[in-house]
Amino acid sequence: MKYLLVVLVLAVGVCQGQEKKVNNTDSMEYLDLSKYENWPRDKNLLFTKRDQNYVKDSVKVRIVFGNDFTQIEIQRVNSPYRIIKSFYTSTRRLHTRCEDFYSQSFVGLFEEYDIHGKLVKQIDKDKPYPFSIDDLRKKIREEYDVDIISDFRDDDPTKIIISRWEGYTEDTYFYKKGVPMYQMQFLTKDQHIVNLEIDARNGAIVSKSVDDEWIFPPNAWRKDTTSEEIILPLSNDKNDQGTILSSAASASEPSNLLLAIVVVVFVIVVTTIIYLSVKKDLALQ
């Protein structure tokens, strides 16, 4: 019996010791630049004391040294995804971690830690977009034979451009309030430039143009029946809310200008003729 009690006491002591060891383990990620010491420099990119670029085994690493933070960007060659981490300069602890897509939009979880390593913010950047990037990839691949992931190339980042945002704060032209959207431009295999805006709730096409020819919606060039205004279609810039011209002004300004020019020319010609005629009469006298 005494032997059993001794065994139990020892077992409890061992468990408590192991528990304390786990609790004291610092799981926080720290800045470690030693792993990149032997990496070759990326000759295609800038390399300075504060901005350094390396590449090894198809992985690119950029290190940016700031006063308060050091940022590390990790990206595979020919991949539109990039992991971005920032570390406190003073403690070398992780400050923020996130991932972006096409250098335009955050994806996945955004995490922020205070200087002591406590998680203070966590945001699911994919939540506002039920129609996921995987869904978008499948749609574009099936409809246009373009793969927004595997067709991405570092040497031609303008071949495919994609961003996403949570929509307008109010109804704007043919856009509805609060509709999250993907905005994208890509080059097809037969060399056509396609611009799309896609509803990120369900994958529906919001707008479409091919080679700068507006295709959808068909009434994008339309007359506002309530205000005698002609509304021009939006550009690809999400901050551009279109151009509105007065229908009267847009219709009459060119013709009025032409009429004014004709009148001026006519007056000059008539005046010249009268002047020459008068001059001739005076000479005869």
- What is residue 122's predicted lDDT score, i.e. its pLDDT? 98
* Distances 185 to 105, 126, 130, 212, 281 between C-alpha atoms, Å: 15, 21, 21, 11, 73
Q: What integer pLDDT is reported at residue 249 of this predicted model?
A: 40
Peptide bond into 254 cis (omega under 30): no
According to the model, what pLDDT value does residue 266 have? 63
Q: Where are the alpha helices (DSSP H) in the chain?
A: 2-23, 133-144, 247-284
Per-residue pLDDT 10s for the chain (285 aa) are: 444 333 333 343 433 443 334 343 467 899 999 999 999 999 989 899 999 999 999 999 999 999 999 999 999 999 999 999 999 999 999 999 999 999 999 999 999 999 999 999 999 999 999 999 999 999 999 999 999 999 999 999 889 999 999 999 999 888 999 999 999 999 999 999 999 999 999 999 999 999 989 898 876 544 444 444 433 444 344 444 333 333 334 444 455 556 656 556 665 655 666 555 544 454 444
Instruction: Tell me the C-alpha distance between 103 and 172, whole Å.
Output: 27
Which residue is associated with the tokens 């509803």? Answer: 199
Nearest to 245 by CA among 231, 259, 235, 257: 231
CA distance 98 to 121: 12
Domain ranges (residues) in the chain: 27-124, 133-247
Question: What is the Rg, in whole angstroms, of the alpha carbon atoms belonging to the chain?
Answer: 33
